[in-house]
Amino acid sequence: MMYAKSHLPTPFGDFILYCFVNRGEHLVLVKPYKGVPLVRIHSKCTTGDALFSLRCDCRAQLKKALELIGREGGVFIYLDQEGRGIGLKDKIRAYALQDEGYDTVEANLKLGFKADERDYSACVEIFRALNIKQMRLLTNNPAKVDYLRSKGFKVEAVPLRVELTPQNREYIKAKREKLKHNL
């Protein structure tokens, strides 16, 4: 897989920065680690990550994961797939449906998508490129853990908890009840 490599100073520490190209441009931050790395796979959420949206908990999760990995070392993958894989425009259309009373899962289904269209296959290649076979994965999503295990990785799930706000309460409820996230 093609990649570029440099370094990136951040408020959470100095990281090695990669950009892997494979159906998108995926950014990877690596902080030197010993033993089994702490890993986070974060799917891009432009409205949350860059524009401070309170409709979801993405930005809080991003910050928490970078803090943890910056502190103890590990690997942070910023996966180039927006809105559970449906893209920005359709994510905004799903928001409009949510304003009419649909939850996040119902809105995606109404637009003709699966509840979750995310694809983690690029991560498999990124882990192979970084020679990672075993990880402690920061996640509340059992499907992510099952997928990586099915690809031969040894994965221990580490919960990533962020605070509920009045705005993201319904969103997190739908993730817990319909997408089986451990929240």
List the catalytic residues.
Answer: 116, 118
Question: Residue 43 or 155: which CB sits closer to Zn ion?
Answer: 43
Q: Whole-number minimum distance, CB 56 to Zn ion, in Å?
A: 3
* β-pair type (154-158, 134-138): parallel
d(CA 57, CA 59): 6
Return the bridge partners of 2, or none.
21
Q: Whole-number minimum distance, CB 156 to Zn ion, in Å?
A: 25
Per CB under 5 A, which of residues 117..156 are in contact with Zn ion?
A: none
Q: Which stretch in 29-37, 44-52, 101-109, 149-157 sits in contact with Zn ion by CB under 5 A?
A: 44-52
Q: Whole-number minimum distance, CB 48 to Zn ion, in Å?
A: 3
Report the amino acid identity of residue 178. K
Question: Residue 29 or 45: which CB sits closer to Zn ion?
Answer: 45
Q: Which stretch in 7-15, 22-30, 40-48, 123-131 sits in contact with Zn ion by CB under 5 A?
A: 40-48
Number of residues in contact with Zn ion under rule CB under 5 A: 4
Residues 6+ apart with CB under 8 A from 20: 1, 2, 3, 26, 28, 122, 125, 126, 129
Residue 72: closest CA among 33, 130, 102, 111: 33
94 touching Zn ion, by CB under 5 A:
no
Site string for Zn ion, 49-68 (x = CB under 5 A): -------x-x----------
Provide the sign of the torsion angle of the four alpha carbons 12, 42, 32, 21, taken in this order.
Answer: negative
d(CA 53, CA 80): 18
- Residue ranges that bind Zn ion, judged by CB under 5 A: 45, 48, 56, 58
